[in-house]
Each structure stands twice: as C-alpha cells, then as structure tokens.
C-alpha cells in the first residue's frame, strides 16, 4: 500500500496524507494530470470516479462524479488556484454545484523525487471544525481505498506499439 502516513490536525483543520511510489516523479504527476488516469484512482473501488471536465491550469476547473454501488451519484469539483507542473497543484474542493466561495475545503498536492521513486503529499484544509468533522471519516476511508488503485495504475507497464519495418 502506498500510504505511509496519515496525520489529522484538528487544531489546524488539516488532514495530511503521504504516499510513496516506486516510479519517477513525472510519472506520478502524469497520473494526476490525465483525467482518464485520474478517474481510475480518485474514487474508491466501491464508488468509482468519472471526470466530465479537467482544465488543469490556474483558474481551470475539474468536475467529476462518484457512482455508488446502487447507482447513486455524488458530484464534486476542484477549482485550480496554482499548478506547478510536475511539482504541485492547489485547488478548492467542493460540490460541483456550489459557488467557489462556499467550497468547504482546499487541498495542496506536492510531488517530489525520493531515492526509491517519488512521494506525494496531500494536505486538505477545512473551512471549519464542523466541515472537518463531517467530511473526515468518509474522506479518510475513501482515500485509503482509492490510493492503492493509484499504486496499481503506476505499476502498469506501457508497451510501445509494434511497427513493421
């Protein structure tokens, strides 16, 4: 499992997830930058994600929905406030139908090279104690279920297409 640390800090209204992967930093970044790869790990196996929009730039927006086992759907969106290719991105996270200023959480994901590959650190910042208490149990469960899918995605070997000489 890629998660190496989960830190809950109610005093600072943050949840920090650290995960290590045996792939280069750029490969890890590419999984987040490509919506088809992102949807393979953002939602947990019991509620897979479908990204309907992914404008990965400052001021851009990503929109997605999770589909539950009985067909129920939950929508979400990110408004990107910073994008530093290969190194980090920041976004406001919330319901796809909510106004940006009402988004209950912001998040920062950083990516760095390690001796064994790369590390992703995700810090979620909640707008209030109530928002943290309401969101945290399901969010932590979802991330613990979803991130192993990223590990599996990154382990896939891409074989170049064979061409006839």
- Report which of 73, 69, 52, 70 is spatially closest to residue 61, judged by C-alpha positions: 52
How much of the chain, in percent, has pLDDT values that exceed 70? Answer: 88
pLDDT, one tens digit per residue, over 105-133 is 899 999 999 999 999 999 999 998 888 88
Residue 147 pLDDT > 90, yes or no? Answer: no
pLDDT, one tens digit per residue, over 26-57 is 999 999 999 999 999 999 999 999 999 999 99
State residue 9 phi and psi, 5-degree precision. -130, 85
Provide the token pair at 152: 């599996």
Mean pLDDT of 83-112: 81
* CA atoms within a 13 Å half-sphere pointing along the CA-CB vector of 130: 1
Superfamily of domain 18-151: START domain (3.30.530.20)
Contact 96, 63 (CB under 8 A): yes
**Domain locations along the chain:** 18-151
Q: Which band of pLDDT confidence, cut at 50, 70 and 90, is reported for residue 12?
A: very high
Mean pLDDT of 10-24: 94
Predicted model pTM: 0.86
State residue 143 phi and psi, 5-degree precision. -65, -40
Can you give the pLDDT at residue 158?
Answer: 59
Can you give the pLDDT at residue 57?
Answer: 97
Residue 137 pLDDT > 70, yes or no? Answer: yes
pLDDT, one tens digit per residue, over 60-84 is 999 999 999 999 999 999 999 999 9
């Amino acid at each position: 499992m890629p998660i190496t640390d989960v830190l809950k800090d109610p005093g600072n209204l943050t949840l920090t997830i650290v995960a290590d992967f045996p792939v280069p930093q750029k490969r890890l970044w590419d999984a987040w930058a490509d919506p088809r790869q992102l949807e393979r790990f953002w939602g947990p196996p019991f509620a897979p994600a479908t990204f309907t929009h992914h404008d990965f730039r400052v001021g851009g927006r990503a929109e997605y929905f999770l589909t539950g086992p009985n067909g129920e759907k939950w929508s979400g969106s990110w408004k990107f406030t910073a994008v530093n290719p290969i190194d980090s991105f920041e976004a406001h996270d919330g319901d796809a139908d909510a106004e940006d200023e009402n988004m209950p959480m912001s998040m920062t994901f950083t990516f760095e090279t390690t001796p064994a590959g790369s590390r992703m650190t995700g810090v979620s910042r909640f707008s209030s104690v109530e928002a943290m208490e309401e969101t945290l149990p399901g969010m932590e469960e979802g991330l613990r279920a979803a991130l192993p899918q990223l590990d599996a995605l990154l382990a896939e070997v891409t074989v170049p297409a064979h061409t006839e000489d």
